[in-house]
Structure 1
Amino acid sequence: MPDTTSTADAMFAALTPVVEGIAATFGRSCEVVLHDYRDQERSVVAVAGSVTGRQAGDAMSEIGLRVLAAGDDARTEVGYVTRAQDGRVLKCTTVPLRDADGTLIGALCINIDVSAIDRATGVLADLLGLSPAEKPVASTNFSGDLDQVVESLIERAERAHAVPVASLGREERLGLVRELNDAGVFALRGAPGRLAGRLGISRTALYNDLAELKKDAS
């Protein structure tokens, strides 16, 4: 039986030069990030390009949280569009990586800045007298700090409800916990402890919320 740890280490070592090769092929508008989910706080093991400013040793983004939470159900996502916090439009591909046993251990992510193309499309539409429908593009926090990534999700909920999360009623809080669970936050080690204080409740209350959500889903 193969040693899954050594197999995983060998996979990441083999993919590191691939990261450089992909980024060099697509040029300065491309960034390639290799994640090792075995270390969630420092999942980035290799980066080529600087589209999102990621560095080796950074934590995963909101996208990584979602992939981690999907676990066995995680699938390759090709060409989805998101927006960086500074407003740039990115076209991204995420490829889940698995060890010899099929367990999710990381991801290879390709981010291409298509902002210039997006602007050019708008100019051409104006020249041709067209009015293309604007499709809302969700933003993604690419911070290298996992606490900041989780905080951005909570702040998004605060803006949606127009009140601090600690002031939410029971039903509203359950809705927020559901959103955070769907976003993959609870796949993180120590997530309940991080979030209970931020939500102004005890860990026991947060576990009760999660148990209720599981009961509703069954």
Structure 2
Amino acid sequence: MTASARDAERDAILAALVPVVHGIAATFGPVCEVVLHDYRKPEASVVAVAGSVTGRTVGGAMSEIGMRVLARGGDAVDELNYVTRTGAGTRVKSSTMVLRDSAGAVFGALCVNLDVTAVDRAQALLGALAGAAGGTAEPPVTTFGDDIDSVVDAIVDDRLRRQDQTWAGLDRTRRLALFRSLDEQGVFAVRRAVEQVAARLGISRASAYSYLAQSRTTAPAEGDRS
């Protein structure tokens, strides 16, 4: 299949799913948001959206979840019923369903987001009334935004927090681990991401490219999961 024929097939799949986006959102009501992504353009991957849970709009960028799917390429799988939090504290239960063309190549995703904040509060209240002890761990914060720069910045900041260090405080091994982690997350699949990461870390673009190249050729240290 030629590249143009492949793109036409993918466009047809996305067009066919637009009514599905609106149908799912209408079925679940105001607590539901459905987003259709075209991963061929990470900086403007949102091609259809219905509902408003994360504030996505058509033409917006993919989230860090989308970057992770994109980084996995052909090994990507559906991620169903996972819970995260928005920066504003909204608890969101989501499912990300990978879209493939007839050759099996991943090119997009259909995402369903449910605002379960009120449900969790009710559950906590019922648990307290019933005398149930303890609580559940807070889900991780996920950055949802129409601006790809804010998503990349949030991922970089999160990786630094996990290392409990500033960039200046990291040794070479940890610096390479940071770049390896960003690469595995799919950050560098985004256009101009290397330049943006360099600016966020306060290093030169040449240094960022060097660290990225080294991280791809250097084996991770034993036990390193940063």
- TM-score greater than 0.5 by the shorter chain: yes
Map of 2:219 onto structure 1: 216
Name which of 186, 189, 196 aligns with 2:188: 186
Map of 1:8 onto structure 2: 10
Equivalent residues of 1:166, 1:198 under 8 A apart: no
SS state at 1:112 partner: strand
Q: 1:204 Cα shift?
A: 4.0
Distance in structure 2 (CA, Å) of the matches to 1:104 and 1:43:
13
Distance in structure 2 (CA, Å) of the matches to 1:165 and 1:152:
15
TM-score, normalised with respect to structure 2: 0.88
1:201 aligned to 2:207? no
50-59 vs 125-134, which moves further = 125-134
Could you give the per-residue CA deviations for residues 124-175 of structure 1, whole angstroms, max 9, x where no partner exists? 1111111144223101000110000011112223444555435543233223
191-200 vs 24-33, which moves further = 191-200
- Count of aligned pairs: 217
Could you give the per-residue CA deviations for residues 185-217 of structure 1, whole angstroms, max 9, x where no partner exists? 122233222222332334443333334333305
Distance in structure 2 (CA, Å) of the matches to 1:56 and 1:181:
26
Could you give the per-residue CA deviations for residues 96-129 of structure 1, whole angstroms, max 9, x where no partner exists? 1112222211100000011111001110111111
Map of 1:26 onto structure 2: 28
Map of 1:157 onto structure 2: 159
Map of 1:76 onto structure 2: 78
Which amino acid in structure 1 is aligned with residue 208 of structure 2?
A: L
Identity of aligned residues (%): 50
SS state at 2:77 partner: coil
In 2 relative to 1, CA 52–157 (structure 1 residues): closer, same or farther, beyond 3 Å?
same
Unaligned runs of 5+ in 2: 221-226
67-76 vs 153-162, which moves further = 153-162
Q: 1:64 Cα shift?
A: 0.8
Distance in structure 2 (CA, Å) of the matches to 1:157 and 1:94:
23
1:44 aligned to 2:37? no
Q: 1:88 Cα shift?
A: 1.1
Distance in structure 2 (CA, Å) of the matches to 1:161 and 1:141:
19
Distance in structure 2 (CA, Å) of the matches to 1:186 and 1:154:
12
TM-score, normalised with respect to structure 1: 0.91
Distance in structure 1 (CA, Å) of the matches to 2:186 and 2:69:
8
Map of 1:63 onto structure 2: 65
Map of 2:223 onto structure 1: none
Matching of residues 52-131 of structure 1 within 5 Å: 52-131=54-133
Q: RMSD over aligned Cα, in angstroms?
A: 1.9
Equivalent residues of 2:145, 2:151 under 8 A apart: yes
92-101 vs 138-147, which moves further = 92-101
SS state at 2:13 partner: helix
Distance in structure 1 (CA, Å) of the matches to 2:202 and 2:173:
15
